[in-house]
Structure 1
Amino acid sequence: MSVPSPEFDRLIAGYRRFRSDDWSQQRARWAELAEGQQPKTMVIACSDSRVDPTRIFDVPPGALFVVRNIANLVPPFETTKGHHGVSAALEFAVTQLDVAEVIVLGHGACGGVSASLNHAFAGAAPGRGGFIADWVSLLDEARDRVVAEHGTGPEAVHALELECVRVSLANLRTFPFVPQREAEGTLRLRGAYFAIAEGVLHVLDEQKGTFAPA
């Protein structure tokens, strides 16, 4: 016997609305997707519940290949044994699906960025924040630069959220198949930042090094 759960009941109710509305209205599209996917864009976004790329970009089913994790981070290329989830997803999107765009999507009020800035889980054991601490250590160098310039207040939080996008873009280019395709003109990397409170998307101009509203 299943345990009653208002949260899960709401999800099932949402699924039923999806079946009666979206799925029914787009039967032809879902039939296509049942045969395979051909997304042209990969989005690397944060797991934050407020930052859903499919809603922000208002796209139909099958348009985006999405990877979400704490603070929309990409680790640098490495070949050590282990379970490299982001690296595997990137490899699949770029070398198997031949996506033309990879977008790193940062956002405001990012808990992972705050954890990095404040060393919130430093020295914690796994299960008590240790996994989080290890993951956001990818931002350590950027954090040190930001703290030196801005301290640790709200201005620093925002600066590190933007820097986080730049870190992931730089790490993407450590994967040999990424700069190769950039040089060939078959792949473009882009950085973006979603300001939750304002609902505004900012896009990075890598040549200028600045973000501006889309």
Structure 2
Amino acid sequence: MPSYLVSRYQGWHATSYAENRAWYRRLAEEGQRPRSMIIACCDSRVHVTSMFGADQGEFFIHRNIANLVPEFTPDGDHHGTSAAIEYAVKNLKVAHLIVLGHSSCGGVAGCHAMCAGEAPELEEKSSFVGTWLNLLRPGYERVLELPAEQQIVALEREAVKVSLENLMTFPFVREALDADRMTLHGLRHDIGEGTLEQYDSDSDQFELI
């Protein structure tokens, strides 16, 4: 292990853990009861728990490149994200399901380049990244009419919208929503500005929180 990680762990164990030992033991014994599932990007700059001031046990977090959700496909290839969603909704019975996108997303930029024919390496069948980013191709088609300088930011928002649309193809997600057992939300975080936008399905717009 890198020495700086060992040092940080030891500091955490001697302070945060020691001061909250009873809470950690309760989590271990009673299991997790997260109120929300957050589907976020793998990007190291998106610090989900810090942004919302969350404690251990509060969020069930799934991260992947560009915070994408595939369509419901029982015999498909995208089982990791779908399995996490199924577990959160059916087993953990989360009250809120949140898709969190962000600015300067490398995955979104890669999708844009691939769909524009500028990243042939991502179009190779051997590219796991390219195959995954293909999920966002419908969003790319929707931003083509915008000026070139606006397309990447628009596609970051489309990544959230495509995921929300695909979540609605999961029968157990739709059932939980229809029964008012769960709510669905789409957000985009601007890393540099520290702002957060929420998607409004009625206006089809992202609005600052």
For Structure 1 versus Structure 2, the TM-score category normalised by the shorter chain is over 0.9
Q: Which runs of 5+ in 1 are unaligned?
A: none
Match of 2:73 among 72, 78, 98: 78
Partner of 2:152: 157
Per-residue CA distance 1:123-179 (angstroms, 9 max, x = gap) = 3353xxx1111000001111022123233x3x1110000011000000001000111
Measured in 2, the distance between the counterparts of 1:139 and 1:123 equals 14
Match of 2:61 among 66, 74, 96: 66
Q: Does 1:104 align with 2:95?
A: no
Q: Does 1:32 align with 2:26?
A: yes
Partner of 1:124: 124
Q: Does 1:142 align with 2:104?
A: no
SS of equivalent residue, structure 1 residue 192: strand
Cα separation, partners in 2 of 1:82 and 1:116, compared to 1, 3 Å: closer
Partner of 2:163: 168
Measured in 2, the distance between the counterparts of 1:142 and 1:32 equals 43
Match of 2:7 among 13, 16, 22: 13
Per-residue CA distance 1:70-108 (angstroms, 9 max, x = gap) = 000000000116560001000000000000100000000
Partner of 1:53: 48
Structure 1 range deviating more: 15-24 or 183-192: 15-24
Cα separation, partners in 2 of 1:74 and 1:81, compared to 1, 3 Å: closer
Measured in 2, the distance between the counterparts of 1:185 and 1:60 equals 25
TM value normalised by structure 2: 0.93
Measured in 2, the distance between the counterparts of 1:49 and 1:205 equals 27
Measured in 2, the distance between the counterparts of 1:212 and 1:110 equals 19
Question: 1:122: how far off?
Answer: 3.4
Measured in 2, the distance between the counterparts of 1:111 and 1:210 equals 23
Question: 1:209: how far off?
Answer: 1.6
Cα separation, partners in 2 of 1:82 and 1:109, compared to 1, 3 Å: closer
Structure 1 range deviating more: 116-125 or 89-98: 116-125
Measured in 2, the distance between the counterparts of 1:193 and 1:61 equals 23
Ranges of 4+ aligned residues in structure 1 off by more than 3 Å: none
Partner of 1:209: 204
Q: Number of paired residues?
A: 203
Aligned amino acid, residue 44 of structure 1: I
Measured in 2, the distance between the counterparts of 1:92 and 1:73 equals 17
Question: 1:21: how far off?
Answer: 1.5
Measured in 2, the distance between the counterparts of 1:61 and 1:134 equals 33
SS of equivalent residue, structure 1 residue 74: coil
Measured in 1, the distance between the counterparts of 2:172 and 2:123 equals 35
Sequence identity (%)? 40
Measured in 1, the distance between the counterparts of 2:172 and 2:161 equals 19
Q: Which runs of 5+ in 2 are unaligned?
A: none
